[in-house]
């Protein structure tokens, strides 16, 4: 008897584990934080991203810096949130290849001018979601050298490094009007910098070394932007990444896109039905993952319900009462797990209805099975076979 009870308990735990694993499969275990903006937009980003100092420069376009985030990696990812005036026209461009490509190119060119980038290339429109008024753009850029950024306190990283008077003089004399310097140019201009700013050639060389080996070279940068057109503002999330972290930038962009919600009252098209899982989100989520999650969840609840009813029947409840109690407990547990881990979203409500239907279909067959005394763990307490078994055992 002890082994049977242990086996039943283990099987119940297995059923609950199947459901729990299926519920967590899509979300992963990464710790997140919620970014909420006053215009009715919120989205999730990794908790490793911290608030960074505000930009010291003012980009030359109507968008104003709202918040800045950065992770703590050696080559950090930067996330800028810009806020601009609401669109005066229809807002989101029509979803055609020619129009979206033209819009993406115009956006990248505008950012090149505003951020004083040297060049933008590989511009490509990304995802499109009319319901949320969301549109994404991806492109590469050649940014001015780090030395130029330090001198002008202007650049994608929003540097806040303070230069002393001599350092500023050195950079000004070395760079002149140039954004980049070759090794030959740097060598040729050292004497002029020392004569104008004072100090020694050795001191200038030591200072240049502190800037790093590529301080006067162009920087290749990956940029990914997600724009949300709302009734009160244009909100732009701009991800800036070094080429070595392009995959991380793409993962962050995907997280923002999937998790972003725009309140119905803030949407340009209020007739759009509010939904946490949009059509675009459904397209990006593999069909096999969604089908597998649904089947595993249904299986977990049904298996848990059946095993609970067997255990309750072995504890003395009649077959009908054991099935009713076990199924109700499994259904309430499944609903609670959905609510805690994923919230009351429309897909989860549909999945809960699936739980109800699956258990309703299984109720009568399982009750008859228990009453027949053919269950794997033992016969029903109300059946003649069960009575005969107890008499034999005695």
Give CA 83 to chain center in angstroms. 20
198 & 223 share domain: no
Q: Which residue in this structure is represented by tokens 């006053």?
A: 38
pLDDT of residue 284: 44
Structure-block tokens of residue 265: 């009252």
- Residue-wise pLDDT for 47-76, tens only, equals 889 887 665 555 556 778 788 898 888 888
pLDDT of residue 344: 58
114 & 230 share domain: yes
Q: Contact 231/264 with Cβ under 8 angstroms? A: no
pLDDT of residue 252: 93
300 & 383 share domain: yes
Tell me the residue range of the domain where 241 lies: 32-144+218-284
Total structural domains in the chain? 3
Q: How far apart are CA 380 and CA 388, in angstroms?
A: 11
119 & 152 share domain: no
Q: Which parts of the chain sit beneath pLDDT 70?
A: 1-30, 53-61, 89-91, 153-162, 269-293, 338-345, 373-394
Q: Which residue in this structure is represented by tokens 């608030």?
A: 51
48 & 132 share domain: yes
268 & 140 share domain: yes
Among 284, 300, 316, the domain boundary falls at: 284
291 & 150 share domain: no
Structure-block tokens of residue 184: 């030959």
- Residue-wise pLDDT for 328-383, tens only, equals 887 777 777 766 665 556 777 777 777 778 777 877 887 787 777 644 444 444 44
266 & 328 share domain: no
Instruction: Decide: pTM greater than 0.75.
Output: no
Q: CB under 8 Å, gap of 24 or more: what pairs does 37-40 form? A: 37/66, 37/81, 37/83, 37/235, 39/83, 39/230, 39/232, 39/233, 39/235, 39/266, 40/230, 40/232, 40/262, 40/263, 40/265, 40/266, 40/267
pLDDT of residue 253: 93
Task: Read off φ and ψ for residue 83, nearest 5 degrees.
Answer: -125, 130
Q: Contact 231/41 with Cβ under 8 angstroms? A: no
pLDDT of residue 12: 46
Residue 15's alpha-carbon distances to 78, 235, 301, 379, in angstroms, are 42, 44, 7, 22
255 & 377 share domain: no
pLDDT of residue 341: 60
Among 211, 244, 265, the domain boundary falls at: 211
64 & 159 share domain: no
Q: How far apart are CA 348 and CA 19, in angstroms?
A: 13
Task: Read off φ and ψ for residue 305, nearest 5 degrees.
Answer: -60, -45
Describe the chain by its helix, strand, coil percentages, rounded to 5.
Answer: 50, 20, 30
Helix axes 165-175, 201-211, angle to 10 degrees: 90
Q: How far apart are CA 248 and CA 96, in angstroms?
A: 28
HSE (side-chain half, CA atoms, 13 Å) at 310? 25
Q: How far apart are CA 307 and CA 313, in angstroms?
A: 10
Q: Contact 97/244 with Cβ under 8 angstroms? A: no
264 & 188 share domain: no
User: What single string gives the DSSP state of each residue in 184-250?
Assistant: HHHHHHHHHHHHHH-S-HHHHHHHHHHH-TTTTS-EEEEEEEEEEEBSS-EEEEEEEE-GGGHHHHH
155: nearest Cα among 203, 228, 223: 223
pLDDT of residue 99: 75
Q: Contact 79/69 with Cβ under 8 angstroms? A: yes
Among 211, 229, 257, the domain boundary falls at: 211
Residues sharing a CB contact under 8 Å with residue 278, sequence separation 6 or more, in sequence order: 129, 131, 132
Q: How far apart are CA 188 and CA 183, in angstroms?
A: 9
pLDDT of residue 155: 53
Which CATH number fits the domain that encloses residue 92?
A: 3.40.1000.10
154 & 190 share domain: yes
Q: How far apart are CA 369 and CA 375, in angstroms?
A: 7
């Amino acid at each position: 008897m002890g082994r049977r009870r242990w086996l039943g308990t283990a099987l119940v735990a297995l059923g609950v584990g199947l459901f729990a694993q299926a519920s967590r499969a899509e979300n992963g275990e990464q710790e997140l934080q919620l970014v909420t903006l006053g215009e009715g937009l919120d989205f999730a980003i990794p908790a490793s991203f911290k608030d960074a100092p505000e930009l010291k420069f003012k980009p030359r376009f109507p968008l104003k810096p709202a918040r800045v985030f950065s992770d703590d990696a050696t080559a950090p990812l930067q996330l800028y949130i810009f806020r601009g005036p609401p669109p005066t026209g229809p807002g989101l461009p029509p979803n055609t290849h020619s129009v979206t490509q033209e819009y993406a190119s115009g956006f990248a060119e505008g950012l090149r001018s505003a951020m004083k980038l040297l060049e933008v290339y590989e511009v490509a429109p990304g995802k499109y979601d009319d319901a949320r008024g969301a549109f994404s753009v991806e492109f590469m850029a050649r940014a001015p050298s780090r030395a130029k950024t330090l001198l002008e306190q202007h650049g994608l990283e929003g540097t806040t490094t303070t230069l002393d008077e001599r350092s500023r003089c050195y950079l000004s004399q070395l760079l002149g009007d140039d954004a980049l310097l070759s090794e030959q140019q740097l060598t040729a201009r050292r004497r002029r910098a020392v004569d104008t700013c004072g100090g020694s050639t050795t001191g200038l060389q030591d200072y240049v070394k502190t800037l790093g080996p590529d301080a006067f070279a162009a920087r290749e940068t990956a940029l990914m932007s997600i724009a949300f057109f709302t009734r009160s503002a244009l909100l732009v999330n701009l991800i800036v990444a070094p080429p070595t972290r392009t995959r991380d930038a793409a993962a962050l962009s995907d997280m923002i896109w999937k998790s972003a919600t725009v309140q119905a009252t803030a949407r340009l098209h209020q007739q759009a039905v509010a939904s946490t899982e949009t059509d675009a989100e459904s397209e990006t989520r593999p069909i096999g993952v969604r089908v597998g999650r649904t089947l595993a969840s249904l299986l977990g609840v049904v298996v848990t319900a059946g095993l609970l009813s067997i255990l309750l029947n072995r504890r003395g409840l009649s077959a009908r009462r054991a099935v009713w109690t076990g199924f109700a407990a499994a259904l309430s547990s499944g609903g609670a797990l959905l609510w805690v881990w994923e919230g009351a979203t429309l897909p989860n409500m549909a999945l809960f209805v699936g739980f109800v239907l699956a258990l309703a279909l299984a109720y009568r067959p399982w009750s008859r099975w228990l009453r027949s005394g053919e269950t794997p763990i033992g016969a029903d307490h109300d059946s003649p076979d069960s009575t005969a078994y107890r008499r034999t055992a005695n």
